A and B are shown apart, each in its own frame.
Chain A
Amino acid sequence: MRNVAWKWGGGSVAILIALVVFIVPFLFIVFTAGKTQAEASFLEFTWPTEWVLFENIATVLQNRDWLLVRAFVNSTVLTVGAVSIMVVLGAMVGYVLQRRKSRWNPLVNALVLAGLIIPPAVVPTIWVLQGLGLFKTLVGLIAVHVAFGLSFCILLFRAFVATIPRELDEAAVIDGAGPVKLFFRVIFPLLRSVIVTVIVVQAVFVFSDFTYALYFLPGDDNATVQLTTFNYISQSASSFNLLFADVLLITIPPLIMYIFFQRQIVAGMTSGAVKG
């Protein structure tokens, strides 16, 4: 009896609270993005009297010589580039680290943990990038994301490689596969499920990153989407409708990722919860 009351009563209350606390703010973004400039300036949580959402989105996209469109291109290149490098290199390290007990393992493990915990030293990183001629370039930002994101990838890959039987490696070696062929033709394809997890989690992270772009890729010429939104605030303090149309646009890619890859995202982000 008590369980039924809890199931329905508790559930309804929880849903109600979730609606107010989590859904209403997102509806506020949509409603404000759909209003005219005059109506949006009241900052009210109301249904727009006149829906101009698509006009607003068009304006935001065209503003300042298609800045946002270029930013989307930049962010896409950044995300795809950084995540693909991370996945391949991280899988290589995680694989050898798990398979082979060498005296370098403690050092590599310590470095991986350090990479997860220690905050990057920003200005010296800029100094290094400048020395390499990569400061304020997309390539430089990709390299930075790879360097900072590798640790997380390595941890996930190392844990997953442990579930692949060694007999497979041995069979491939007997069949004459070299180390490179063994890894890329036999092991890498078997990592598919964890690769999807790593790709999705890191893609969301890289796409949503603001701090590193602010430091290592400043300026409007090759801004990423997160940066354009921030620049938007000062430029159009009064046009909240356009600001929120912009926020809405940069929220959509992670939303799509979440709808399609909910299971992988959850698996990736909660990994370590059980084993500690």
Chain B
Amino acid sequence: MTTATATGRTATGRQATPPPTPAKRKPMKTPYPTWFFIPAGVFYVVLFLIPTVASFYFSLTRWTLFDVEFIGFDNFIRFFQEPQLVTGFINTFIYAFVTSGSKVVLGLLFGVLLSSQIIGRGFLRATIFFPVLVSTIGVGILFKVLMDPFGGPINETLAAIGIQGPGWLTDPSIALLSVALVDIWKGVGLATLIYIAGMVAIPQEYFEAAKVDGAGAWSNFRHITLPLLRPATITVVLLSLIGGLRSFDLIWAMTGGGPGFTSDVLASVIYKQYQAGFFGLSTAGNVVLFVVVAAIIFPLSWWLNRKGDEQ
């Protein structure tokens, strides 16, 4: 416990230093005082930075909130040995890449479609975007019922046209993908809108020039739209990957990680271990998630943005 408070103190001490001492400043008072950072900084440092730094220490302990025992890397070893925890680790990647990839493809498709001259454009945009705002838990509950294998409306409809519907959430091999499907349903509207915003920013002159050169619809898309939508694509990829890797509530509402632990992801493992009282193991899961997110997002955003500069 003493070590624990010590970690907390050093981190707080670091926070106190940022505002520079007034003596060093030029005598003229700036109208943009650095202390404007402090109120926000207090919230950020106390509730985000300190816990994040402390998590590295606590992940190396056996921890109940009253008692801390240092056990080295045991939590991490356990994390990569127990099959259910490993499943959660792998599922996190599957879930994030499936949802992110689908949102890019479908978002681009719908974005181009809803930027063209078709009837009901406003209605379509509003309709596709609305699920983004609805509570994730509400959507989870709704689709859990719709996807019910016994008498759920989706399978009833499939049965009516002669297809035997799968056990969406009860079949271990597809439960995770079913949840991912609902995630795509809920999130594709945001990707679409980002692409529409990107389409609007493309100057019409390019298309007029291409028309003079005799370009068809496909080469317009391939050589004008797609390259100029690059910033939008980067935004969609990064946003949906960050969201996908951290995703918790939809999975929790729909399957609770089940059947068994076949649809567990890191975030749900973290919650389960926390619930079971294994705070150290839960925090180790958090550190793993931190590393996974950082290892994917930082290089990816650097790479995506650098390639953009070269062009």
Contacts and interface: CB of A to CB of B under 8 A. Distances in A.
- The finding on whether chains A and B are genuine partners in a shared complex, rather than unrelated, reads yes
Interface of A: 3, 6-8, 10-12, 14-15, 18, 21-23, 25, 28-29, 32, 42-45, 85, 89-90, 92-93, 95-97, 99-100, 102, 104, 107-108, 111, 115-132, 143-144, 146-148, 150, 154, 169, 172-173, 177-179, 182-183, 204, 207-208, 210-211, 214-215, 226, 229-230, 233, 240, 243-244, 247, 250-251, 254-255, 257-258, 262, 265-266, 269-270, 272-276
Interface in B1-37: 4, 8, 18, 20, 29-34, 36-37
Given A183-B36, A270-B197, A274-B198, A229 B293 contact: no
Contacts, number: 277
A272 B246 CA distance: 21
Nearest to B308: A276
Contacts of B39: 89, 92
Contacts of B30: 100, 179
Contact of A121 (B51, B63, B118): B51
Contact of A154 (B4, B40, B201): B40
Contacts of B282: 122-123
B209 interface: no
B32 A258 contact: no
DSSP class of A's interface residues: helix, strand, loop or mixed? helix
Interface in B266-291: 267, 270-271, 274, 279, 282-283, 286-287, 289-290
Nearest to B52: A121
Contacts of B29: 179
B130 A22 contact: yes
B152 interface: yes
A125 B34 CA distance: 27
Contacts of A29: 138, 142
Contacts of B197: 266, 270, 273-274
B131 interface: yes
A101 to B, nearest CB: 10
Nearest to A101: B32
Interface in B55-88: 55, 58, 63, 65
A262 B132 CA distance: 12
Contacts of A183: 36
A98 to B, nearest CB: 9
A273 B198 contact: yes
A69 B139 CA distance: 21
B114 to A, nearest CB: 8
A96 B52 contact: no
A115 B48 contact: yes
Nearest to A269: B190
B153 interface: yes
Interface residues of B, number: 100
A15, A204, A273: most-surrounded residue (chain B CB, <10 A): A273
B146 A25 contact: yes
Which 8 pairs across A and B sit closest by C-beta, in order of nearness?
Answer: A276-B231, A121-B55, A11-B119, A11-B118, A147-B47, A124-B51, A89-B40, A100-B32
A233 to B, nearest CB: 7
B215 interface: no
B234 interface: yes
B40 A150 contact: yes
A121 B290 contact: yes
Given A131-B8, A183-B36, A258-B133, 17 more contacts: A25-B142, A96-B36, A102-B34, A104-B37, A117-B242, A118-B294, A119-B290, A123-B58, A123-B279, A128-B8, A169-B31, A226-B137, A229-B137, A229-B138, A270-B190, A273-B195, A273-B235
B158 interface: no
B171 interface: no
Contacts of A215: 271, 274
B220 interface: no
A150 B43 contact: yes
Contacts of A272: 235
A85, A107, A179: most-surrounded residue (chain B CB, <10 A): A179
B49 A111 contact: yes
Contacts of B231: 273-276
B50 interface: yes
B235 A276 contact: yes
B44 interface: yes
Given A45-B153, A117-B242, A265 B290 contact: no
